[in-house]
Each structure stands twice: as C-alpha cells, then as structure tokens.
Structure 1
C-alpha cells in the first residue's frame, strides 16, 4: 500500500515548483533590474493611455523623465467605464490571435504597456479606485472579446472602504463564475492582493492603510487561492514576490507604498511570464 507521501496531487507539486521558480526569478531580477533592457510593447497592444491628446503628448515629450498626467485621469467613473467599453469593442471588432485581459484597479491600470509580455496582445480593463463589486458589474464590457487568458486583481480598495472579507470573497466567486461562463475557452487567473507599506507609505490615504494589517491580506489571499481552485480558476501568488521580511511591500518596488514603480512592474511581468510558461 503506498504511503501518503506518494499521493501528492500533480497540480500541487506544479504549484510548489512554480512558486519556487518565481521566488528565484525575482531574487535574480532585483539584482539585475537597473541594467535590464525593456522589450517594446507589440503594435497590437491597446491601452487608453496611448489615446491622450496631442497637447499632452507634446508636453510629455518635452520632459520624458517626468511622466505627465493627461485628461483621462480627470474623468468620472462613468467616463472611464465608457472608455474601457470602447477599447473592448475595438478589440472585439478586430480580434488578435492571442488576447490577454488585465481586470482590476489602478495597480493593473498603470501596468506600463512596454513591460507587458510581448507574446500576447493586452486589453487593460483597470480603473483607478475600483472595488470588487464594481468590477463584477462591468465584466460585460468585454463579453464580446475572445481572450486566451484573463488576469484578475482586485480587493485593496474594498479593504480601504471597510468592505468585509466575506463580501470580497463572495464577489470573487461571482467574478470567476461569470468569466468562466462567458469565456469558456479562456483561462482565468486570480492574482493575490499585494502588500502595502502601512504607516511608511507616502500615499495620500496612508492612514487608512495602517488600519489594514498585511496579515489580513495574507489571510484573504489564502481564501482566494481556495476559491480559485473550487471555481476552476488558476491562482498566481504575487504576494511573496513583493513582500519584505516583515511582510510589507518592498520599498524598492513602489512609488508611494501602495502603487508600483517600473521595477515593481518588471517583477510582475516576469512572474506572468514564468507562470504562463509553467502553468498555462
């Protein structure tokens, strides 16, 4: 009779191996990023930031080292939703061979197009300040697209607004169920909520961050992993790649203690590439 040690499911071994390789990859990247080159984004990538007015583009080109904020950042939530709907419609009308969707809040929104893995065409469906219920309500925006994979990250704004973990988890269940029903051929990947720097953050809402211990985020991520498995989705655990020894967001990967800098997005990009190669 085989011992219990020989009955570990193959998917569990693959998950452990993937996490180990991700951690090793990040360790190497943290030491080499300053001299790493960035591959330009494919011409097929679609991002609303590329549709800024010519005046904004001229301003940005005059001071390339200092990113400029364009008109899109002054829109209302409804205007952002309308813009994302137009982008999704454009992709649906001219579908690429391999489409990936980023669905989430500002952390997904600000993923630099030139840092996204170039083997896919990306549709960014992030909105600044988004919560899980808001994302659930607007999933229909990209119903007519045919994605190969959909990456979801949502939840930090729920916690900032005092939404209970139970409500967040229930919304995640509904999000996964909706995506798997509408896009049966797509792989749905739940990405863990990232840590923050709490009282050390310079973000304007840092006082609220201090009320959300990173231990609570870790607990929530464990529940998300279980939900993903039950609902037939994948789980990409980014948390340990961005956390320091105290469990807080690494200072070298963030602009303000909550959002990521280019180095942080480079780490995320590498995690996507390793995860896609091993799991998808």
Structure 2
C-alpha cells in the first residue's frame, strides 16, 4: 500500500513539475553535476570538461573523489552510482539535506560498475542510488547478464555498507523514432517494452536482496511508452525538466520510503 501511495504521489509531482516550469527547448543541455557537494550549494570548484576523458581517466578521478569522501566522512552521504544519466544530474537540483557523491561515468555498464564498487568500500553512505543497464542494452548485453550483475551490485553494496540503504532504480525508456542521439539506430533496436520487462525483474531482484526499488519508468513515458521530448536532450539523456522530475521522485521516495 505504501508503494502504491508513493507511486501515486510521484505521478502527481511530475504533473506539478511540468506545469510549474517555464517552457524550455527539448535540446537544452543540463549543466554538469559535480561530486561531493551539499545539495543546493554551488559546486566547490571547476573540474573541467570531464565528459571528454577516457574511461580509465574517469575511474581514476572517481577513485580520488571516493577517497576524499572516505577521509572526510561527510554526514548524510548519498551516492549516485551509474552512467551518464547519473553523472549529469545537476548539483543544484540534488535533494537538500545530504552530501552527494556522484559516481556516474559516461557509457558505464553493469559489469563496469560492479568492478569498480570496491572504490567505495571505505566511504560511509547513508544511501546509495543505483541506475544502470541502458548501455548494456545498447551494446547487446543479454538481459539475463544485466539482471545478474544488478543482483551482484546490490549484494556488494549491502555487504560493504551494512548500515546504508541501497536503492535500485529502474532503467529509463528512450524516445524511439524521435531520438536524435548519435547511436539512434542502436536505440531503435531496443524496444521500450523490453526495458519495461527488465524493470519488472529488477524490482523482483531488489525485493529478494532486501534493497529498495524506485520505479522511475512510469514518470518518463508518454502514451506510446517512449521518453517524451519534454524531458530529454537527444532521446536518451535527460534535460533540465527531466532532472526536475527525477529530483521530485527522489524527494518523495526518501520521505515516504527511506525515512519510515
């Protein structure tokens, strides 16, 4: 019942967010998110165009940021773990009351995230939000492998951080034939119905592994089951409006689920 109530409130929040925001171009780019910031504050420093780094350079930088979080032990540490969709979450939109460590990497897969989780072992998060899987699908990874890796990610996080709450988030849909992302053909090869099926399995895995599940998918679909252009820059990544919806979902989820 609590889950159903939460979903209903999330849908209402989406409507309010959309109606309250000024009109924006679907192609307006979000500002980059910076690691380890107090939500609502300005980024502590300019880290430059990290999106142009190689994967190994990103991993090395995130290792340094995780080490800093481990050494400083900020209160109410919340971690975003995932791919570019997490990476580009604007720091100023992250829910207040927590110190956020962004551990997103552009192009990340479930296998890649699983491999680098030990970098977080010495941190002390209160909550870890995981979103992973779309790049696996783009690369042709079988759903069974995505699900198994997701299970192992949850287990690793719960083992390393027994006092933290682990939240597995659903994979977001794409915009189908309206997508303009450079890999559009690869997106079109992934039916959004398939993503919905995988999400149902992810929810079951989260329940089995004593983790939480945040179902964002219904908040990001139109009547055709695709990601609306209102929420995206290119049919795959989110724009400012999209992150506002995600922010609202995080706030309500933390209030209604994590705080009870």
Q: TM-score, normalised by structure 2?
A: 0.91
C-alpha distance in structure 1 between counterparts of 2:165 and 2:47, whole Å? 31
CA distance in 2, matches of 1:48, 1:217: 34
Alignment of 1:196-215 (within 5 A): 196-215=174-193
Map 1:222-241 → 2, pairs under 5 A: 222-241=200-219
Q: Equivalent of 2:16, from 8, 28, 39?
A: 28
1:47 Cα deviation from its structure 2 partner: 10
Q: CA RMSD in A?
A: 1.9
Alignment equivalent of 1:183, drawn from 129, 146, 161: 161
Per-residue deviation, residues 198-226 of structure 1 (Å, max 9, x unmatched): 22101000111000000000000000000
Among candidates 229, 254, 257, match of residue 279 of structure 1: 257
8 Å CA contact retained: 1:131, 1:158: yes
Count of residue pairs the alignment pairs up: 246
Contact 1:44–1:96 at 8 Å: present in 2 too? no
In 2 relative to 1, CA 91–18 (structure 1 residues): closer, same or farther, beyond 3 Å?
Answer: same
Unaligned runs of 5+ residues in structure 2 are 24-33
- The structure-2 alpha-carbon separation of the partners of 1:269 and 1:83, relative to structure 1 and needing over 3 Å to count, comes to same
Q: Give, in whole Å, the separation in 1 of the partners of 2:119 and 2:46.
A: 19
User: Per chain length, whose mean CA-contact separation is higher, i.e. which structure has more relative contact order (CA < 8 Å, sep 6+)?
Assistant: 2
Q: Which structure has the bigger radius of gyration?
A: 1
Poorly superposed stretches of 4+, deviation over 3 Å: 41-51
CA deviations 1:103-156 (Å, max 9, x no partner) are 000000000000001211000000000000000000011111000000000000
1:115 maps to which residue? 93
Q: SS of the residue aligned with 1:189?
A: strand
Instruction: Give SS of 1:194's match.
Output: coil
CA drift at 1:43: 5.5
Normalised by the size of structure 1, how large is the TM-score? 0.84
Task: Give structure 1 stretches of 5+ with no counterpart.
Answer: 1-12, 36-40, 54-69
